[in-house]
């Protein structure tokens, strides 16, 4: 870690969580392994064992069978692979939650299928009554039903009712994909879905490694063509060190309910300082580490830059869309654009977050706001 980073407070874990020491050590050991995991000789077997041990660890954290797990290059690749597989299996009309991550929305819109968005309410919860009615009136000409729902929104942290969505989808004879990238390592995972995607760097593993669970009876078509790796399900030489880091991070990551007290303290103290502040999704079940907020008369990027100058790293939303000055897509979907006309800001805590970090953030916020108010006057 650079000296610059060491002196900063990091509150952007939903974008990426710092590499855990356990993952770093596992990767360093894997770098000393010479073989290709598909080679039959001893060096190859050593590399393959590293990958299979990691597969077991990641599968255990996901609550799935290791034999049904495919390593990928990212959560986004996992989502794209699942959607590609479903489309090739006849799911030519897809229902994608409006609160989904761009990884699923964009893939569904561009795979050739008709993409229909499942609306949400003002709390950011996917409308299960709408989904029930839509599936009840499904036309066989639309192909096999396919539903995609992100388990927890990366911006608001709102947790979706995956159990109900799964039951509705399966009762209609359909397939369901759940993007669990934000859930893994924060809450237990017990899903009975057809496709389940996760990503290493959200749990303190390395960037550039993901995994996709494919149920044994779910259709599958490889997205990447080439060699026979991953039982011919995902071509390309395995990233042995990255996979080792993923496995170690999955072993080390445990649910962090204590973060909710830190998150609640942030929201309580900010509300005292800012009576007009809005916390999106606060009335719905949320991840314990996430707060998505806005002031009606202050640009989110102005707050972000001010906090950055004070040594605090936060974000204005999902990392895949950051750097773009506009109203949050998620806020628009919730019908609350008037609450955040100048954008919203996300504070996301993680395993490195301390009470002292929260003190620093709140002090930095107060300093930035005093400066902004002086400038405005």
Measured between alpha carbons, how far is 64 from 189 in angstroms, rounded to an integer?
9
Give the number of other CB atoms < 10 A from CB of residue 101.
26
Answer left, alpha or beta for residue 319, where phi above 0 means left and psi between -120 and 50 means alpha: alpha
Q: What is the pLDDT averaged over residues 140-149? A: 96
pLDDT band at 244 (very low <50, low <70, confident <90, very high): very high
Residues 6 or more apart whose CB falls under 8 angstroms from that of 152 comprise 158, 159, 160, 180, 182, 183, 186, 187, 286, 287
Residue with tokens 């874990």: 13
Q: What's the mean pLDDT when you consider all of the chain? A: 94
Q: How many helices (H) and strands (E) does the chain have?
A: 13, 12
pLDDT at residue 183 above 70? yes
Radius of gyration of the chain (CA): 21
pLDDT tens digits for range 20-64: 999 999 999 999 988 999 999 999 999 999 999 999 999 999 999
pLDDT at 320: 54
pLDDT tens digits for range 270-301: 999 999 999 999 999 999 999 999 999 999 99
pLDDT band at 375 (very low <50, low <70, confident <90, very high): confident
Q: Supply the DSSP string of 188-247, one letter for each residue.
A: ------SEEEEEGGGTTS-TT-EEEEE-TTS----SS-SS-HHHHTS-S---HHHHHHHH
pLDDT at 326: 60
Q: What is the pLDDT averaged over residues 292-315? A: 96
pLDDT at 324: 47
Give the number of other CB atoms < 10 A from CB of residue 269.
15
pLDDT band at 193 (very low <50, low <70, confident <90, very high): very high
Q: Supply the DSSP string of 253-303, one letter for each residue.
A: ----TTHHHHHHHHHHHHHHH-TT-EETTTTS-B-TTEEEEEBTTB-HHHH
Q: Do β-strands 210-214 and 195-199 pair in parallel, antiparallel, or remain unpaired? A: antiparallel
pLDDT at 3: 44
Residue with tokens 């077997």: 45
Answer left, alpha or beta for residue 236, where phi above 0 means left and psi between -120 and 50 means alpha: left
Give the number of other CB atoms < 10 A from CB of residue 57.
22
Q: What is the pLDDT averaged over residues 331-340? A: 94
Is CATH 3.40.50.11540 the classification given to domain 3-18+255-376? no
Phi–psi pair at 110, nearest 5 degrees: -115, 5
Q: Supply the DSSP string of 156-173, one letter for each residue.
A: T-BBP-HHHHHHHHHHTT
Domain boundaries, the chain: 3-18+255-376, 21-252
pLDDT at residue 83 above 80? yes
Q: Which are the catalytic amino acids?
A: 320
pLDDT at 4: 52
pLDDT at residue 322 above 80? no
Topology (CATH level 3) of domain 21-252: 3.40.640
Three-class DSSP category at 4: helix
pLDDT at 373: 81
Residues 6 or more apart whose CB falls under 8 angstroms from that of 295 comprise 274, 276, 277, 278, 303, 342
Give the number of other CB atoms < 10 A from CB of residue 221.
12
| Among 256, 243, 257, residue whose Cα is nearest residue 57 | 243
Q: What is the pLDDT averaged over residues 332-337? A: 94
Taking the model in full, what pTM does it have? Answer: 0.94
| Among 151, 169, 206, residue whose Cα is nearest residue 22 | 206
Measured between alpha carbons, how far is 345 from 295 in angstroms, rounded to an integer?
9
The pair of three-digit structure tokens given for residue 336, joined into one six-digit string:
């609350």
pLDDT band at 5 (very low <50, low <70, confident <90, very high): low
Q: What is the DSSP letter of 315?
A: B
Measured between alpha carbons, how far is 304 from 274 in angstroms, rounded to an integer?
16
């Amino acid at each position: 870690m650079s000296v610059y980073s060491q002196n900063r407070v990091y509150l952007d874990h939903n974008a990426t969580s710092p590499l855990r020491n356990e993952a770093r050590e596992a990767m360093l050991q894997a770098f000393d392994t010479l073989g290709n995991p598909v080679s039959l000789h001893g060096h190859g077997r050593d590399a393959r064992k590293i990958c299979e041990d990691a597969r077991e660890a990641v599968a255990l954290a996901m609550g799935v069978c290791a034999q049904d797990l495919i390593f990928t290059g990212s959560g986004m690749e996992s989502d794209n692979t699942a959607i590609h597989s479903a489309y090739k299996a006849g799911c030519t009309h897809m229902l994608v939650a409006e609160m989904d991550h761009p990884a699923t929305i964009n893939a569904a819109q561009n795979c050739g299928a008709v993409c229909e968005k499942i609306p949400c309410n003002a709390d950011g919860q996917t409308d299960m009554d709408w989904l029930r009615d839509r599936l009840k009136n499904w036309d066989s000409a639309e192909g096999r039903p396919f539903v995609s729902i992100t388990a927890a929104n990366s911006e608001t942290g709102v947790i979706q009712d995956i159990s109900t969505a799964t039951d509705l989808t399966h009762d209609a004879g359909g397939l369901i994909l759940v993007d669990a990238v934000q859930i893994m390592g924060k809450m237990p995972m017990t899903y009975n879905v057809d496709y389940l995607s996760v990503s290493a760097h959200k749990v303190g593993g390395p960037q550039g490694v993901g995994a996709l669970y494919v149920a044994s009876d779910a259709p599958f078509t490889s997205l990447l063509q080439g060699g026979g790796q991953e039982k011919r399900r995902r071509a390309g030489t395995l990233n042995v060190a990255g996979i080792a880091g993923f496995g170690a991070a999955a072993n080390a990551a445990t649910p962090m309910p204590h973060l909710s007290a830190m998150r609640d303290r942030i929201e309580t103290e900010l509300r005292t300082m800012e009576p007009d502040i809005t916390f999106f999704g606060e009335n719905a079940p949320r991840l314990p580490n996430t707060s998505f907020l806005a002031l009606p008369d202050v640009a989110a990027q102005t707050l972000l830059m001010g906090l950055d100058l004070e040594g605090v790293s936060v974000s204005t939303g999902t990392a895949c869309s950051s750097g773009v000055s506009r109203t949050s897509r998620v806020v628009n979907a919730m019908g609350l654009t008037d609450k955040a006309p100048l954008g919203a800001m996300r504070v996301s805590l993680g395993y490195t977050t301390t009470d002292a970090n929260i003190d620093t953030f709140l002090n930095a916020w107060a300093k930035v706001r005093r400066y902004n108010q002086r400038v405005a006057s």
